Amino acid sequence: MYSPIGGISRLMDEGGFGLLESAGWRGLSLHLQDRAKLYVGVFVLGFVAGYPVAEVLIEWFLSAEGFIPDGVQVIILQPLEVILLQLRIATQIGFGLLVATLILDLAWNGRMVLSRASRSVSEAVGIARIFVIILAIIVLGGLGAAYAHTVLIPFLLQYLSEDAAASGLKSTWQLQSWIGFITGLYFSSIVGFQIPVVIVVLLRAGVMERSAIIENRGFLWFAALFLGALISPPDPISLFLVGGPMLVLLELALVYDRAFSKD
């Protein structure tokens, strides 16, 4: 029987959690350290630009239909609640921009990351491939947002409202918790749906081997559910509704790489 804890210990002992060769792990670590200032700058840029966008999103959530179930009253408990909510949404926007930057950076410099550690000659990456990856990020992000909008948010909001009504309680939701719950679902879905791009980019760059993913599938399934718990609202239903698609997308990424691999 597979043990997640035992698997984590074994993977750490192998180096790179068993998914990356030692050269790939070393090269990736060095590359991330070198680009730390760039990544911080991208996050700050997304945060600053996201703060006024957050105000627009809050106004839209309050006026749009379908986000407040029947019988639910939204209230504000503290004067700074809207500002704190804007900061939270701006942080999510900054982190989302950072994830996109990381994917594009690895797609562009993935071969260089591996060759830097192994001292081999890297191959240039075509501009067309970068455009394809950008398109994939946008499309998968759109699919993630659509999944959250049509499946996650309506189901969970209705579930929470009906659960409170069945208990004889009056549904009164705090503004920060309500919109934070919604934006958390959007954010986790958009980021989680990027898994196929991340897997394919790492595989094509040679930083990760397909066989390593297959051998450690149990650990990755556990990690996907754990990640779903971290980036989704703190309830079991959200965990599985967020983590479940990650598992499916991981398997689809392996199928895609196997079908279109040059090996």
Helix axes 81-118, 36-63, angle to 10 degrees: 150
pLDDT band at 112 (very low <50, low <70, confident <90, very high): low
Residue 15: left if φ>0, alpha if ψ -120 to 50, beta else—which one? left
Sign of CA dihedral 139, 216, 97, 181: positive
Is it the case that residue 114 has pLDDT exceeding 60?
no
Sign of CA dihedral 10, 14, 16, 18: negative
- Reported pTM: 0.77
Question: Would you state the pLDDT for residue 11?
Answer: 42
Is it the case that residue 178 has pLDDT exceeding 80?
yes
Is it the case that residue 7 has pLDDT exceeding 70?
no
Is it the case that residue 152 has pLDDT exceeding 90?
no
Mean pLDDT of the chain: 77
Which residues fall within 8 angstroms of residue 141, CB to CB, at 6 or more apart? 190, 193, 194
Question: Would you state the pLDDT for residue 142?
Answer: 94
Encoding tokens for residue 219? 């650990």
More confident residue, 9 or 61: 61
Domain ranges of the chain: 19-66+73-258
Nearest to 4 by CA among 257, 217, 254: 217
pLDDT band at 24 (very low <50, low <70, confident <90, very high): low
Is it the case that residue 185 has pLDDT exceeding 80?
yes
